[in-house]
Structure 1
Amino acid sequence: MAIEMSVSPATARRRRHLGSGLLVAGVLLCGLYFVPRSPALQALAQWAPALAAGFGQNILISLLAIALGTLAGLLVGALAISPLWLLRLPARLWVQVFRNAPWLVLIYFTTYVFPFEIPVGGLYVPFPDWVKVTLGLALPASANVAEIFRGAIASIPATQWEAARSLAFDRGQIFRSIILPQCFKRMLPPWMNLYAVITMGTALASLVGVHDVIDTAQIASNTVNQTGFTVLVYFSLLVLFFAYCYPISRVTQRLERRYAFY
């Protein structure tokens, strides 16, 4: 006679956490065992601070790019739904151009279209390459945010507009008090997914001379000059980007379930 045993969700969760803890402990123990014996791992340990600093540069570029892109995208998205075609047409053109332009082309464009120095009051202030890359990534980010914003507004049922007008709300009051609070909830999951994509796109920064994590890995690979180390250092970059972007993906999925609209 078979006996079925049910496991509560809390118990299953504790078992998963225990298994994850044991896996992490095993990886750490293996690292403590193999690092003193592997020249490639020893070299990676020496270059780890430089790689972490380079990855910090990538994160800074991604944060500034998504911030600038969000501000510009909300403005462009608002213009794209304007009843005036003189405002609507340029906004839609902006979205179509920068959503469909290759990111690498935009990065090269902003790198060479902006000067290396800006004259300010008789002084020449340097215009760093990483700022140009940030602007290059902010352009497609703004176009995507504008489209996310437009789609969120379009997803609001027309009956809410009609009900608000019947209560004597004007267009501005309807937009601020009723439509926008719902739009921001609907925009949050795709916006976070866009940020993860922007973060991965920062790997292109090294192609225009930015000293980021990819450039640091190339310097480390050329300095150590070992095939095993080269494979290991680029695998470490995969782990870095995965460790940073995967939690964002998981939070995005939870928000999609939480703010699901049927």
Structure 2
Amino acid sequence: MTEDLRSGRLAVLLPPRQRTAAVRSGAIFGCAALVIALVAIAGVARSQGVETGPDSWVTVLMRWSPLLLGGFAFNIAISLIAMTIGTVLGAGLGIGLLSENAFIQRVSWCVMQFFRNSPWLVLLFFAMFLVPFQIRIGDTVIPLPGWIKACVGFSLPVMANVAEIVRGAVKSLPATQWEAAESLAFTRRQTMWMIILPQCFRRMLPPWMNLYSLITMATVLASVVGVSEMLTLTSDVHAAEGGRPSLFAPLYGFALVCFFLYCYPIGRLTVYLERRLHV
């Protein structure tokens, strides 16, 4: 055995070192991309007009950064709420796709295909105009502001994609799992909830995280329908500073950097979990 290893006739795998190298290369790439983006933003700002003193673009960013970061936190809140609603609805829709009832399966398939293949901005507009502005329960009036409608609009494509993630994860398990459960007298419901879905969790986690990263970046679409998130506030700050061309790249570049710093680690963690969980 030792002679075979020395002669190279047997492959020697070193997965821990490979994972470490992959993580390091990903971190180096992310830092390099961030530095390039910052240099490009500074270069564009400088080419559009060199400004110094109290009204330079650096001073403007420092003055308005608390407001812009508050808007970015609102983007994150919208993404978390939309992801929560969409995950709950998508899990039910995914189980419907796996139902033995042909009618439920076909209806679930149609719903999933419709919302999965519809433009997110169109779904957002539908949610803004079809969801009522307030709900009356007896004498109590509950207002529904625009950001709640935006959460509903973003949760619809999340629901469809989570349903496909659930269906794909369940289908990826060997059929012997179902056969073994049936031989132990488990019902289909017991098999699904006690045996199949617990094994699917690690298979669903990486694509779910990737979907969350996408929905976070898509929350800037809420600015189109009047929600005061980071992109809307960036436009307001640019207008408040006189609409100077030299501020365009720094202000919107600041938004770009914020989203990159938030979403890139999620993407790297997704890749790490795919390798770690062997999915």
Q: TM class, shorter-chain normalised?
A: 0.7 to 0.9
Q: Residue type matched to 2:133 in 1?
A: F
Equivalent residues of 1:44, 1:229 under 8 A apart: no
Are 2:249 and 1:231 equivalent residues in the alignment? yes
The sequence identity of aligned pairs, in percent, is: 45
- Which residue of 1 is the match for residue 182 of structure 2? 165
For 1:216 and 1:55, how far apart are their aligned partners in 2? 9
Aligned residues: 238
Shift of 1:117: 2.1
- Which residue of 2 is the match for residue 213 of structure 1? 230
Q: Residue type matched to 2:176 in 1?
A: T
Shift of 1:121: 2.4
- Which residue of 1 is the match for residue 4 of structure 2? none
- Which residue of 1 is the match for residue 259 of structure 2? 241
Are 2:269 and 1:257 equivalent residues in the alignment? no
Shift of 1:125: 2.5
For 2:108 and 2:190, how far apart are their aligned partners in 1? 23
What is the 5 A alignment of 1:80-99? 80-99=97-116
Greater CA deviation, 196-205 or 154-163?
A: 154-163
Shift of 1:35: 8.8
Shift of 1:221: 0.8
Q: TM-score, normalised by structure 1?
A: 0.85
Q: Residue type matched to 2:270 in 1?
A: T
- Which residue of 1 is the match for residue 64 of structure 2? 47
Structure 1's 241 and 85: CA in aligned 2 closer, same or farther, altered over 3 A? Answer: same
For 1:144 and 1:115, how far apart are their aligned partners in 2? 26
SS for the counterpart of 1:175 is helix
Which stretches in structure 1 are left out of the alignment for 5+ residues? 1-8
Q: Residue type matched to 1:232 in 2?
A: P
For 2:55 and 2:234, how far apart are their aligned partners in 1? 18
Equivalent residues of 1:217, 1:233 under 8 A apart: yes
Shift of 1:36: 6.4
Are 2:168 and 1:151 equivalent residues in the alignment? yes
SS for the counterpart of 2:275 is helix
What is the 5 A alignment of 1:131-210? 131-210=148-227
SS for the counterpart of 2:141 is strand
SS for the counterpart of 1:125 is strand
For 1:195 and 1:142, how far apart are their aligned partners in 2? 12
- Which residue of 2 is the match for residue 70 of structure 1? 87
Structure 1's 259 and 40: CA in aligned 2 closer, same or farther, altered over 3 A? Answer: same
What is the 5 A alignment of 1:17-32? none
Which stretches in structure 2 are left out of the alignment for 5+ residues? 1-16, 43-50
For 2:142 and 2:175, how far apart are their aligned partners in 1? 51
For 1:241 and 1:35, how far apart are their aligned partners in 2? 28
- CA RMSD in angstroms comes to 2.3
Equivalent residues of 1:51, 1:217 under 8 A apart: yes
Deviations 1:141-193 (A, max 9, x none): 00000000000000000112112222332222222222111111100000000
- Which residue of 2 is the match for residue 3 of structure 1? none
Deviations 1:121-150 (A, max 9, x none): 224322100000100000000000000000
Deviations 1:48-89 (A, max 9, x none): 011011111111100000000000000000011101012111
For 1:221 and 1:43, how far apart are their aligned partners in 2? 10
The list of structure 1 runs, each at least 4 consecutive aligned residues, that deviate by more than 4 angstroms after superposition, is: 34-38
